[in-house]
Amino acid sequence: MITMMFTAMIALTLTAAIMILTSLLSKKINEDREKSSPFECGFDPKSSARLPFSLRFFLIAVIFLIFDVEIALLLPMTIVMTTSSMKSWLTISLIFLTILIIGLYHEWNQGSLEWAN
């Protein structure tokens, strides 16, 4: 027991020391204008690199990622069905699907799924 605690303490100390050392060594000392500007084949940029981004596109992308992860959570439910009781599997599945449908209805009701007004 003492050996495990001693090993864990050494590992944590070594990890903390390496993290502190890398954060101290990785700091940029001087800020160069050329290195902080966007790269366009060695030429000065013709326009600003900070173009406005469509917020609608971002929201739809986030919604897609959320529902994509939820589908990835739904797929293993068919495999788990054979190893669990049918009543508990059905209850959990229905609760999960109900939460998904309520979330989809909320997004639809708020107008987040409409691409153009």
Is residue 49 within 8 Å of 38, Cβ to Cβ? yes
In angstroms, the Cα distances linking 48 to 33, 38, 69, 100 are 15, 9, 35, 40
Q: For the chain, give every domain's residue range.
A: 55-117
Rounded to whole angstroms, how far apart are CA atoms 96 and 91?
9
- Res 9: pLDDT: 95
- Res 52: pLDDT: 74
- Res 32: pLDDT: 64
Does the reported pTM lie above 0.85? no
- Res 58: pLDDT: 81
pLDDT in tens, the chain (117 residues): 889 999 999 999 999 999 999 888 876 666 666 666 666 566 666 666 666 777 778 888 888 888 888 888 888 888 888 888 889 889 988 998 899 889 889 888 988 777 766
